[in-house]
Amino acid sequence: MQVSRVFTGVDGGSTKTLAVSADEKGRILGIGESGPSNYHVVGLERAIRNINESITKSINRTNIKAPKITTLGLAGMDTTYDFQFFKKEALSKILGEKVYVRHDAEIALVGATKGEPGVIIIAGTGSVAGGRDRNGRYLRCGGWGYMLGDEGSAYFLGKKCLTAVLWAYDGRGEETMLTEMVLKKLRITSVEDIIKKVYVEKMSVRDIAKLAPLVPEAAQKGDKVAQTIIREAVHNLVLHVLALVRRLELDKDGVVKVAPIGGVFRAGRIILEPFKKELNKHFRVEVIKPSFPPAVGALLLSYMFGEIKLDDELLSNIKNTLTEFNVYV
């Protein structure tokens, strides 16, 4: 396939890496998938190898050897040190005439809003938020891990769930249907067995996060303890958004677009309705579903870095040609 300029976006995570390449009109040319590229997880050399493998696969139907611009959105880019280290040690080894690296929450946000200003709040196993203003300035909030942060996340809900069960057992807290639900979920017969599960069998962060769905389930059935946990989780997620709206002055432009994603929000109305209601106390909010997946967000950033306008034709071409590939959910 003869093309003059190719733009590429890469979504590099802890389990896999996805690259999407397109021409300057937004027509998708190919998608490539490879292994993980969080350098904290797999090491720098393997991360570079997996990133380049995904890019190569995404351009293998073209006549070019490397994209004009490549934008990487990578998990594990959590501190200034991470960016400095990666730029110094890895950027020159990545396929692309020009290569940029961004936090993975930023590419998720750009994909969600199609490059418009807004905030993304991610509540999966952990929690983190990112915001961009009209000038392209990006800031993040949270994402400090389960020991120091992750408020409102699935881990937060799971841990609060276990604590509530133990408090009820002690008599410090109200009785809750979470007790029976936790015993059944963990396949144990006594509340005291929770201690063995956590400290002896070493329940992981992910294991504890898997208890999160019990909380909205109990809350929907009228359990007051679970409802209190939900309110606390929602409040913490709202604080992430408020911090970014304030720091970026996003409310000065009118309605603020907020994209909530992750397993916690998949609980539905019991999370989303109070989340939106609390945000509306502070500014006008439009809660949106993401328009594009993160790898396409990275692609949109590549266009921006190349000073190509994200007009209706380009966005329409991306949407229409993306359907040819069955990679995205």
Does residue 131 fall inside a structural domain?
yes
Examine the domain organization and report whether 269 and 302 are in the same domain.
no
**Tell me: the pLDDT tens digits for 156-182?**
999 999 999 999 999 999 999 999 999
Q: What is the pLDDT of residue 4?
A: 75
* Residue numbers of the domain that contains 276: 116-290
The 3 state secondary structure assigned to the chain is: CCCCCEEEEEEECCCCEEEEEEECCCCEEEEEEECCCCHHHHCHHHHHHHHHHHHHHHCCCCCCCCCCEEEEEECCCCCHHHHHHHHHHCHHHCCCCEEEEEEHHHHHHHHHHCCCCEEEEEECCCEEEEEECCCCCEEEEECCHHHHCCCCCHHHHHHHHHHHHHHHHHCCCCCCCHHHHHHHHHCCCCCCHHHHHHHHCCCCHHHHHCCCCHHHHHHHCCCHHHHHHHHHHHHHHHHHHHHHHHHHCHHHHCCEEEEEECHHHHHCHHHHHHHHHHHHCCCCEEECCCCCCHHHHHHHHHHHHCCCCCCHHHHHHHHHHHCCCCCCC
Examine the domain organization and report whether 59 and 22 are in the same domain.
yes
**Tell me: the pLDDT tens digits for 134-161?**
998 999 999 888 899 899 999 999 999 9
On whether the CB atoms of residues 264 and 271 are closer than 8 A, the answer is yes
Does residue 45 fall inside a structural domain?
yes
Examine the domain organization and report whether 237 and 296 are in the same domain.
no
Does residue 274 fall inside a structural domain?
yes
Residue 39 and residue 79: Cα distance in Å, rounded? 13
Examine the domain organization and report whether 29 and 161 are in the same domain.
no
Residue 150 and residue 122: Cα distance in Å, rounded? 10
On whether the CB atoms of residues 11 and 73 are closer than 8 A, the answer is yes
Which residue has 């069960």 as its token pair?
Answer: 165
Asked whether residue 329 carries a pLDDT value surpassing 60, the answer given is: no
Q: What's the predicted TM-score (pTM) here?
A: 0.85
Q: What is the pLDDT of residue 146?
A: 87
Examine the domain organization and report whether 124 and 105 are in the same domain.
no
Residue 44 and residue 297: Cα distance in Å, rounded? 23
Asked whether residue 54 carries a pLDDT value surpassing 60, the answer given is: yes
Does residue 328 fall inside a structural domain?
no
Q: Between 124 and 325, name the one with better pLDDT.
A: 124
**41 band by pLDDT with thresholds 50, 70 and 90:** confident
Examine the domain organization and report whether 136 and 281 are in the same domain.
yes
On whether the CB atoms of residues 50 and 36 are closer than 8 A, the answer is yes
Mean pLDDT of 209-216: 96
Which residue has 């990487």 as its token pair?
Answer: 72
Asked whether residue 3 carries a pLDDT value surpassing 80, the answer given is: no
Examine the domain organization and report whether 102 and 171 are in the same domain.
no
Mean pLDDT of 55-75: 92
Does residue 200 fall inside a structural domain?
yes
Asked whether residue 327 carries a pLDDT value surpassing 80, the answer given is: no
**58 band by pLDDT with thresholds 50, 70 and 90:** very high
Mean pLDDT of all residues in the chain? 93
Mean pLDDT of 236-249: 96
Number of domain units in the chain: 2
Q: Between 327 and 7, name the one with better pLDDT.
A: 7
What percent of the chain shows pLDDT beyond 70? 98
Asked whether residue 306 carries a pLDDT value surpassing 90, the answer given is: yes
Does residue 1 fall inside a structural domain?
no
Asked whether residue 62 carries a pLDDT value surpassing 60, the answer given is: yes
Examine the domain organization and report whether 181 and 197 are in the same domain.
yes
Mean pLDDT of 106-112: 94
Residue closest to 152 by CA, chosen among 142, 164, 167, 140: 142
On whether the CB atoms of residues 56 and 95 are closer than 8 A, the answer is yes
Q: Residue 42: what residue type?
A: V
Q: What is the pLDDT of residue 167?
A: 97
Q: Between 327 and 208, name the one with better pLDDT.
A: 208
Examine the domain organization and report whether 134 and 272 are in the same domain.
yes
Parallel, antiparallel, or unpaired: how do β-strands 285-287 and 28-34 relate? unpaired
The CA-based angle 22-26-31, given to 5 degrees, is 30
Domain containing residue 249: CATH number: 3.30.420.40
Mean pLDDT of 268-274: 94
Examine the domain organization and report whether 50 and 185 are in the same domain.
no
Examine the domain organization and report whether 137 and 228 are in the same domain.
yes
Examine the domain organization and report whether 171 and 96 are in the same domain.
no
Q: How far is CA 163 from the centre of its chain?
A: 27
Mean pLDDT of 80-97: 93
Asked whether residue 13 carries a pLDDT value surpassing 90, the answer given is: no
Does residue 327 fall inside a structural domain?
no
Parallel, antiparallel, or unpaired: how do β-strands 17-23 and 98-103 relate? unpaired
**83 band by pLDDT with thresholds 50, 70 and 90:** very high
Within 13 A of 44's CA, how many CA atoms are on the CB side?
12
Does residue 86 fall inside a structural domain?
yes
What percent of the chain shows pLDDT beyond 90? 84
